């Protein structure tokens, strides 16, 4: 595996692979890699001839007061994890390499980014879509892999790719969880022992909502079920609990049917998100 820091090195390595007729997979990450990330990489290594992983803590997707400075960084650990899986190229650029001083273009997906996390993290999705668009332009992959853990992000990226005619297949991958149901996240390492013990309550509450949804409950009823269940764990301070349409992300309200039940909640100083999908 090669570790490179410049766009030109990526372009050259990918062009050489293309010249040999190889298909290219891209897995964009913020690093501090865990089994969730690794599942995306394994999928890319299985599907594609050459897998590129990017590790870049993208400042433009962090808001003021968010954890940009504390965000865990471990390039050495990330590199060994990537190598063990069979990743071909690890792209770890600096902020200066990624953004010109006078960068003035933003890729912004409207509507889909207004609700859920978008309502509480202004500018976040513009940061995500801009950097993902740049990474897709740098790597020009056949496929790019994203986790359902960040469900809104996945839907927003699919929309960007469709709307801008970016020639890439976006592959969504299932959420990887701890045995107790907690979705893996680089931010889980912020949790104290007590908070870690409380953390599975978020997924458990969503599961209760999913059961109600399968029995025909409306979006609003599902949200109430989840809120009541999560209230059993007083350490959690919910930010939002919403049952939305899986593609439009519009709240279901008084309707029942296929839905994604998504929630964000603070546990101490850590903001956790999770979601479950209920098929029709």
> Which positions are catalytic?
37
Whose CA is closest to 266, among 206, 187, 204? Answer: 187
Which residues 186-225 are close enough to bind ligand AMP by CB under 6 A? 186
CB nearer to ligand AMP: give 128 or 243.
128
Which residues 174-193 are close enough to bind ligand AMP by CB under 6 A? 175-176, 183-186
Please, are residues 148 and 277 in contact by the beta-carbon 8 Å criterion? yes
Contacts of residues 222-229 at CB distance under 8 Å and 24 or more positions apart, as own/partner, are 222/252, 222/259, 222/261, 223/261, 226/261, 226/263, 229/201, 229/204, 229/205
d(CA 64, CA 62): 7
Provide the 8-state DSSP code for 243: E
39 near ligand AMP, judged by CB under 6 A: yes
Whose CA is closest to 272, among 211, 196, 209? Answer: 196
61 near ligand AMP, judged by CB under 6 A: no
CB nearer to ligand AMP: give 176 or 229.
176
The least CB distance from residue 36 to ligand AMP, in Å, is 2
Which residues 137-156 are close enough to bind ligand AMP by CB under 6 A? 146-147, 149-150
d(CA 114, CA 192): 32
Counting residues that bind ligand AMP (by CB under 6 A) gives 17
Find the binder of ligand AMP among 53, 116, 173, 191 (CB under 6 A): 173
Name the site residues for ligand AMP (rule: CB under 6 A): 29-30, 36-37, 39-40, 146-147, 149-150, 173, 175-176, 183-186
């Amino acid at each position: 595996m090669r570790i490179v820091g410049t766009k030109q090195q990526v372009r050259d390595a990918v062009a050489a692979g293309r010249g040999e007729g190889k298909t290219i997979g891209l897995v964009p990450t913020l690093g501090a890699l865990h089994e969730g990330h690794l599942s995306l990489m394994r999928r890319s290594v299985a599907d594609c001839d050459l897998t590129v992983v990017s590790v870049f803590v993208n400042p433009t997707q962090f808001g003021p007061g968010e954890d940009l400075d504390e965000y865990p960084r471990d390039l050495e650990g990330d590199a060994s994890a990537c190598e063990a899986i069979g990743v071909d190229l690890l792209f770890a650029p600096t902020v200066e390499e990624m953004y010109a001083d006078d960068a003035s273009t933003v890729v912004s997906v409207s509507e889909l980014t207004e609700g859920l996390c978008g309502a509480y993290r202004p500018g976040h999705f513009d940061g995500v879509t801009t950097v993902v668009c740049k990474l897709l332009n740098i790597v020009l992959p056949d496929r790019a892999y994203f986790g359902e853990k960040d469900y809104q992000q996945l839907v927003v990226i699919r929309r960007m790719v469709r709307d801008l005619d970016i020639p890439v297949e976006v592959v969504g991958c299932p959420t990887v969880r701890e045995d107790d149901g907690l979705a893996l996240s680089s931010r889980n390492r912020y949790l104290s022992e007590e908070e870690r013990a409380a953390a599975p309550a978020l997924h458990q509450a969503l599961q209760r909502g999913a059961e109600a949804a399968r029995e025909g409950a409306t979006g609003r009823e599902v949200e109430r079920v989840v809120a009541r269940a999560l209230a059993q764990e007083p350490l959690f301070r919910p930010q939002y609990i919403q049952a939305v349409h899986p593609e439009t992300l519009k709240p279901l309200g008084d309707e029942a049917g296929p839905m994604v039940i998504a929630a964000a909640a603070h546990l101490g100083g850590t903001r956790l998100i999770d979601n479950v999908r209920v098929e029709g």
